[in-house]
Structure 1
Amino acid sequence: MRLWLRTASSAVLATLCAGGSALAQDNNTLDQVIVTATKSTATLQEVPLSITAVKGETLQAQGVNRFQDLTGTIPNFTVSQSPISDVISMRGINSDLQAAGEQAVATFVDGVYRGRGVQSRFAFLDMGSLEVVRGPQGTLFGKNTVGGALNINSARPSAVFDGSISAGYEFEQGETEVLGFITGPVSDRLRVRAGFQYNEMKDGWVDNSYYDEAQPRYTNWAGRLSAEADLSANAKLFARYDHSDFDTKGNPIEIIHLGGALAPLLTSLGVDGDIDGKARQGNSSPFLDLGSAFVMDGGTDELMARLDWRTPIGEWTTIAAYSGYDFLRAFDADLGPLDVLQVKQDEKYEQYSLESRISFAAIGKVRPLAGVYLQQSQLDNDGWTYANTVPLGAPFPPLNRFGRFQQESKLWAIFGQATIDLTDKLEATGGLRYASEKKDALQEITLTNATTGGPLPAPVLAALANAVLEATPHVLRPSSKENDTSWSANLRWKPTDEASFYVSAAHSTLGGGFNAAYFGTGGARPGETADQYQQRMLREIAYRPEKATSYEIGAKLRFGGNAELNAAIFHVNYDDIQTSQFTGGTSYVVGNAAAARARGLELDGRWRPVDELTLNAAIGYIDFEYTDYKNAGCTVAQIAAGGYANGALCSAAGVNDLTGRTNQITPEWTVSFGVRWVKPIGDYQLTVDGQANYVDQFYGAQDLDPQTLQKAVTKVNLLVGVGPRDRDWVLDLVVRNLTNERTFQTANDVPLATGSYFATIERPRSVALRLRVNF
């Protein structure tokens, strides 16, 4: 770690020192990075926010085509995969895993909110730019941005004919990727663009001997059509339509540790309990067998239009959009070779939104902005859990737990912001947003005989089903209404054209809601009436909004055009943190931790000492601590020691007090160092792009179980490309995770196998050959 810090720090210091010689060099100027996170166009150096911004063509050139590839390269930002959804973490705050929850880090594509993980599967499709905006962003972006926001701009149609196609093959896992675009004018006022992306993986990185297949295997494709029209000299209309389909078989899951009563049985069935790229997962009975350990099939659609209209009082922008998806997912939920559990989910989501805002022309020294936002969404999720406990010695037939969750949300908000020029070098900005959201839901649980589909015939059998499936039949109709205010304020000082400094504060919320996976509490308590029992369940199914208040100081520095440094120091207070705790059986408990605080720093810099060479470095440090979290989810050792029937009861008893501890998937240090060298050789040029990324140790589970600790690791990526200097074509060799490090991001208890643990394994070394043709 010390070596890494010295290396990265030296690179950043070199950036600082580069300013002395920069003025003497004219051919090695860094490109200015343009961002739109403030709802206006500005350079990265002008924005008083902690932002990492990169062009889409840069990501494509580096072979980056998914969010997971960015982990370690961006300070205090990680994206990982779990069996349920992607987990986005920024400054120590993670996304909610249960079906009804919103992301704590929101994604926006062309201003359209994508709050659910499935919506962002193809966020890199024909991307123009990516902005990772850290810290609460409630004023301009809205709710559900307590961790930050991912602001993505699609590539726009061009008035000049242009196009590109890229085809590559990865040799280690057998992945084929084809992507490209074509754009050009239809008339003087109309421009169009089409983009596409296709991925097929035949041989994943975990060999599942149960089905004699490597997993994951998938076929994904996405397409985009967009058009931009000049309606008049002062009005412009942009519209696009996206569609995607995905079909996945198998998950990169391994049981990484064996323990408890079932360990001998699992060992005898071929489970080794190591991170070695081997798994034995599946079901053999016709009742549970899927033909694969995991299957998921679905698609997404998004249609949006944006109107920009310059008027005498300012520029008016209106964005109207529809975004939706549907999928069917099923998997072997015991994660091993036992014919015990299968989970099946059918989910559909639709969202309609409208934003209209005006950036007023300057009124003296004041530049105001005001807007309104409307959103309506509908979520439908049906889930089945089939339990065949005969292999475990249970004297009753297979059981089925059916859960239905339906939720309608209606949200409206008004917001405003104003920037005041206090002097020619000092400006102050303040903003406010008021939002109101109403949610109405239906949540239903039934238990049946999975073989016949009929009801459970006896109270004893019902009690056994409750013990195995942790569920009590019920029908609930929860509703909520939230009114919240987000605000932001900053002071920016620009003493020279190449230096600016800022201080800022902001407050934002993550909307409350209902636990779609709430299964009841074992029935009414002694002396509890039916109405009291119903009211208690309505309280238990709900969780409160999460709140974040941040304070930040930062600097944006440029040195003669060929070097730059961005720095930020932050402190964030979180209240009512939303948590999702696995019980160790077959369910999750969703609620609120009391409070936490996070503090740290982010540094990133670039230096181009000569035209052929560019160096970059980034450092992220975070000290995250729960200041009050007495009812955290329990480890299996704590559950066993206390004799609790399940993790929910242990959590309620306050056994695992995580006050003073960190959060899951929160590495203390992330360090990145990169070198890009472009060498002309006659009419051709050679490109070498190397990146080394260090990620500190972290826990993969919410309960911070020691068995889920991922050790610190360094991963190296390398790209070597050759092609003509006019870049008509480029042939690249792309190697990611050069030293073949075996790591995981999320981990947890194996359902019903107390003492054993599983993890979602990250992709090991990949070696791809790719040809890009530009025309």
Structure 2
Amino acid sequence: MTCNCGRCAMKISMRGLSSLALAVAISGGWATAGWAQQAAGEGGEGARASTDEIIVTAQGREQRLQDVPVAVSVVSGETLAEQGIRSLQDVSQRLGNVKITQGTQVNSINIRGVGSGENPGFEQAVATFSDGVYRSRSRASVAALFDIERLEVLKGPQGTFFGANASAGALSITTRKPDGTFDWNASGLYATDGEYSFEAGVSVPLGETLSGRIAGRASGTNGWVELANGGDAPHDDSLQGRVSLRWEPSANWRTDFRFDIAQSRTDDNAAFQLLNCPPPPGFPMSAVCGQILAANDKTFGSELDFVSEGVPSFQDFDFHEAALTNSLDTGAGTVRSITAYNWMKVDSELSLVPAFYPTAVGGNVGFPISQNERYRFFSQELRYESETGGTFEYLFGGYYQHARLQFGGLSNFYFLPFGAVIENALAVDFPNITPSTPLASGYTSTQSEDTFSAFAAVTIRPTDNLRINLGARYSRVSKDGTRDLTAGTSLNGDPASYVPFDNGTAFSGTIGAPITGSVAFCAIIGCALGDFPVSEITDDAFMPSVSLQYDVSPDAMVYAKYSRGFKAGGFSANSAADVFGPETVDAYEAGIKGSLAGNVVTYSLAAFRMDYQGLQETVFDSNAAASVSNVAEARSQGVELGLGLRASDWLRLNADVAYLDSVYRNYPNAECTKLEIANTPRGQTCVQDLSGSPRSYAPEWSGAVGAELMLPVSSDLDFTANPVVAFSSSYFMTATGDPLLQQEGYAKIDLRLGLSSHEGGWELALIGRNLTDKATASYRLGVPGADGSVLAMLERGRSVALQFSIRK
């Protein structure tokens, strides 16, 4: 391949090594030369230190990626935009040992087989940060990948530099900033499944010391799941916008301000597919499944097929965030202040019985649930960072945050005649409750949180090749919580029609004692009335870290690291009045990363072990009532290997393979499988010992392999082809080891074809996703009242998109 002025080679590196794969040698923390340059961007915080270097902030300050003894994956915003990737869930498809999925109450983020379960009361064990601002709510991931400079995925506990709730890892997002020059970009995409995205941004100088940027995106989809009653799902329309300002009044002072706003309106967001009705052998036929079969002219097998019965659902998401960062260069170091405010609300409705049938109380929706979440957050961080490059480097600082969460919901138990179920089970006669009474439970909870942290880190260089890194953070987290749960009646699942029972009235039955309607209801459903047993909790922890790293050559570095992570306890936000304790982890990691033959070959290898105590876990009973507990012990260990090969100036290959062994070490009182529950005699409690069993979202093997082919078509045009195969072995989706709630192993094939101007000003691309139309689910749960039947949330099927982008 010939080049007129070296532009060809530069463009290959700027496009990145298989930008489709996104996971070029990422597992061990090393990005290959081509991708590193693209991830670094052009100036600003991500500026290239040299032709083959990328700058990251994985340790709280700007460093070369090769100098960081952390398993960190890096991908640029430019790469994400080129690939049409706009969600963290899509990113995780190409990262070994990373699973990000959508659930009914939270979006689950798991790294190395560890994350937080489905409970809105949890902070995520994988913490998310945008420009250093913490985003504790998992639903905020909807607004994550918009007009960004880069995304860093850090694996393992990150307590020293990212705080108390990064016990499994952290996602660090750097947004795009104005830099005093004029530039603009725009792109449009439309796909065969109705996905669309129109995005534009412009940066302008507003004076000698002030510059600004404004960016916006309109995006959505018509859906990839066929609804049995016509149409497709999910149907989403989203808007995002950001205003950013940078003020540099002098050479040593810089102020960055940004304001983000996002809105999403999604209909049929929970278009579940019903599986196993009738249930598999060993399960008795349930009344719920029998009624579904009677009302529908078909059976529901065990294979995913992108078809849903279309029970109505929706989710409305609104998000605002403001962040102010001030930096003062004192000559010997930098004082940095980050102030932030975040506000978010989510309203949603869905049914956990994912098929229509005439219910016992009227209507045809068996288990409609409405939920609302309100959250606001303020934080302030102040830190001092010494200059880098000397024998002794250090940073220290303090952090404060205040957050308030309000969560509520209404669960309507229409799928069985619970009035009769309660009276028969308890031998109680309620004059005002009949088999056709539409019973429901209303729930509200409020939590407030105050966190204080102090942190410090030191790097000592006894020799030019050896670095000793010491770090620690002390955090104190105080929470107040209150809740209320009542039972009553409602019509058509409408929250406005909910009427709680008059619990001042007691009805007596043959049990020989008065009992109220709410008490009787919760005795059968498995809920808890009233407030939490305690209203205040405080947890604190000291989180040290130490690592040694040695440059065995200018192109290779070995490291070994110990770190301790911590996640505070809290209050459950569901039907149980659970107060759970903190979780802690001791993590060990050793690795090597480097390159050979002038970056012709790049490699990374990391081995790790993480031992958890008090791991926070959520379990569900047969009626989908949830409870939270702390698992005594769990262990996650494995090996991550990344390889990159620059085979020629026009061909690059890469592979990212991760092996994982993530198990419970001591969990004797776990929830049973659905089969065990179905065959447990009435009145007895079923538990199983999961000690030694795999954790959820922990496939044994995962990763991606890919390539980039680039050829000049003419003196003015270039052609690129980026194939990638992302794969995963099977994994469980709940903390039960239940084969019914398991995703089988899979491989998905993507292909991107691009035609661009030689100077990179415009590009026309054809983007194919999941070309073999492999059906997988991001979430599975047992259908309430129908042991053996399962609901599944389908991931995206085959799509082909046309995208045009232009920039200056």
> Which residue does 1:325 correspond to in 2?
344
Aligned-pair CA distance for 1:341: 1.6
- Maintained 8 Å contact 1:235/1:310: yes
> Which residue does 1:662 correspond to in 2?
694
- Maintained 8 Å contact 2:392/2:458: yes
Aligned pair in 2 of structure 1 residues 244, 374: CA closer, same or farther (>3 Å)? same
1: CA distance between counterparts of 2:802 and 2:310? 32
Could you state the TM-score of these two structures normalised by the residue count of structure 1? 0.89
> Which residue does 1:272 correspond to in 2?
300
| CA deviation vs aligned residue, 1:550-596 (integer Å, no higher than 9, x gap) | 11111120221343212211111111111000112031011111101
> Which residue does 1:176 correspond to in 2?
196
> Which residue does 2:214 correspond to in 1?
194
2: CA distance between counterparts of 1:392 and 1:140? 51
> Which residue does 2:130 correspond to in 1?
109
> Which residue does 2:4 correspond to in 1?
none
> Which residue does 2:671 correspond to in 1?
633
Aligned pair in 2 of structure 1 residues 463, 321: CA closer, same or farther (>3 Å)? closer
Give the one of 656, 669, 677 matched to 2:709. 677
- Maintained 8 Å contact 1:294/1:331: yes
1:384 to 2:410 alignment: yes
Aligned pair in 2 of structure 1 residues 239, 416: CA closer, same or farther (>3 Å)? same
Give the one of 552, 555, 558 matched to 1:498. 555
- In the TM superposition, 1:463-542 aligns within 5 A as 464-467=520-523, 469-476=525-532, 478-519=535-576, 541-542=578-579
- Maintained 8 Å contact 2:487/2:517: no
* Structure 2 counterpart of 1:449, one-letter code: T
1: CA distance between counterparts of 2:476 and 2:752? 48
**Structure 2 residue runs without a partner (length 5+):** 1-22, 34-49, 280-284, 358-364, 421-434, 492-496, 508-514
- In the TM superposition, 1:124-203 aligns within 5 A as 124-171=145-192, 173-202=193-222
1:568 to 2:624 alignment: no
> Which residue does 2:47 correspond to in 1?
none
1: CA distance between counterparts of 2:749 and 2:390? 52
1:714 to 2:747 alignment: yes
1: CA distance between counterparts of 2:121 and 2:449? 11
Aligned pair in 2 of structure 1 residues 431, 279: CA closer, same or farther (>3 Å)? same
1:553 to 2:590 alignment: yes
- Maintained 8 Å contact 2:442/2:487: yes
- Maintained 8 Å contact 1:245/1:299: yes
Aligned pair in 2 of structure 1 residues 109, 644: CA closer, same or farther (>3 Å)? farther
> Which residue does 2:425 correspond to in 1?
none
> Which residue does 2:92 correspond to in 1?
71
> Which residue does 1:415 correspond to in 2?
455
2: CA distance between counterparts of 1:108 and 1:730? 31
* Partner SS, residue 143 of structure 2: coil
1:206 to 2:252 alignment: no
Computed over aligned residues only, the root mean square deviation of the Cα atoms, in angstroms, reads: 2.4
- Aligned sequence identity (%): 29
* Partner SS, residue 307 of structure 1: strand
2: CA distance between counterparts of 1:687 and 1:713? 27
Aligned pair in 2 of structure 1 residues 716, 645: CA closer, same or farther (>3 Å)? farther
Aligned pair in 2 of structure 1 residues 645, 130: CA closer, same or farther (>3 Å)? farther
Give the one of 474, 482, 501 matched to 1:455. 501
1:370 to 2:389 alignment: no
1:37 to 2:54 alignment: no
> Which residue does 1:304 correspond to in 2?
323
Aligned pair in 2 of structure 1 residues 499, 659: CA closer, same or farther (>3 Å)? same
Aligned-pair CA distance for 1:430: 0.6
- In the TM superposition, 1:639-654 aligns within 5 A as 639-644=677-682, 649-650=685-686
Aligned-pair CA distance for 1:662: 0.6
Aligned-pair CA distance for 1:214: 1.6
1:239 to 2:245 alignment: no
1: CA distance between counterparts of 2:543 and 2:65? 24
- Maintained 8 Å contact 1:432/1:487: yes
* Structure 1 counterpart of 2:501, one-letter code: P
* Runs of 4+ with deviation above 3 angstroms: 9-12, 361-364, 389-394, 456-464
1: CA distance between counterparts of 2:84 and 2:706? 14
Structure 1, 503-512 or 746-755: larger mean CA deviation: 746-755
Could you state the TM-score of these two structures normalised by the residue count of structure 2? 0.85
2: CA distance between counterparts of 1:84 and 1:420? 45
1: CA distance between counterparts of 2:291 and 2:620? 23
1: CA distance between counterparts of 2:304 and 2:221? 21
1: CA distance between counterparts of 2:570 and 2:189? 43
* Structure 2 counterpart of 1:224, one-letter code: R
> Which residue does 1:3 correspond to in 2?
none
2: CA distance between counterparts of 1:499 and 1:389? 62
- Maintained 8 Å contact 1:492/1:502: yes
1:606 to 2:644 alignment: yes
* Structure 2 counterpart of 1:549, one-letter code: D
Aligned pair in 2 of structure 1 residues 737, 599: CA closer, same or farther (>3 Å)? same
> Which residue does 1:528 correspond to in 2?
none
* Structure 2 counterpart of 1:216, one-letter code: P
2: CA distance between counterparts of 1:359 and 1:96? 36
- Maintained 8 Å contact 1:127/1:153: yes
* Structure 1 counterpart of 2:318, one-letter code: G
Aligned-pair CA distance for 1:127: 1.0
2: CA distance between counterparts of 1:667 and 1:701? 13
* Structure 2 counterpart of 1:345, one-letter code: Q
* Structure 2 counterpart of 1:548, one-letter code: V
Aligned-pair CA distance for 1:195: 1.7
2: CA distance between counterparts of 1:410 and 1:467? 35
Matched length: 717
